[in-house]
Structure 1
Amino acid sequence: VLQWLSPLVPQKRHQHLCNNRYDGMGEWIFERDEFVKWRTEEDRSHPVIFCEGDPGVGKT
């Protein structure tokens, strides 16, 4: 069933993209006010931050 649902083998594509990414890719998030605030909060009741965006914009 998995092969039928996903014939493109997303793991291989993901690995290819990881191996060929640009230096510094995705580091923009560490400078965003939202991330800094979330990361430095004393209250750890929200341990997850949600990043949304179109495919291919650098979320991964």
Structure 2
Amino acid sequence: EKEAAELGKGSFKYAWVLDKLKAERERGITIDIALWKFETPRYFVTVIDAPGHRDFIKNMIT
């Protein structure tokens, strides 16, 4: 959260967790898919971050 805010991307603080590529963090967009799984006492949760920008849709499909 702090790192995202320092780079002026505070509104992307939740996407920041899954965006690992330097370009993703600098541009504030998702380029490649990312997956994060965790468990609560009642649920199994899977968070998927997929590109929405038209230039990177191919990364999601392949």
Structure with more strand by fraction: 2
User: Do the two structures share a fold, i.e. TM-score over 0.5?
Assistant: no
Higher relative contact order (CA 8 A, sep 6+): 1
Rg comparison, structure with higher value? 1
TM-score normalised according to structure 1 size? 0.23
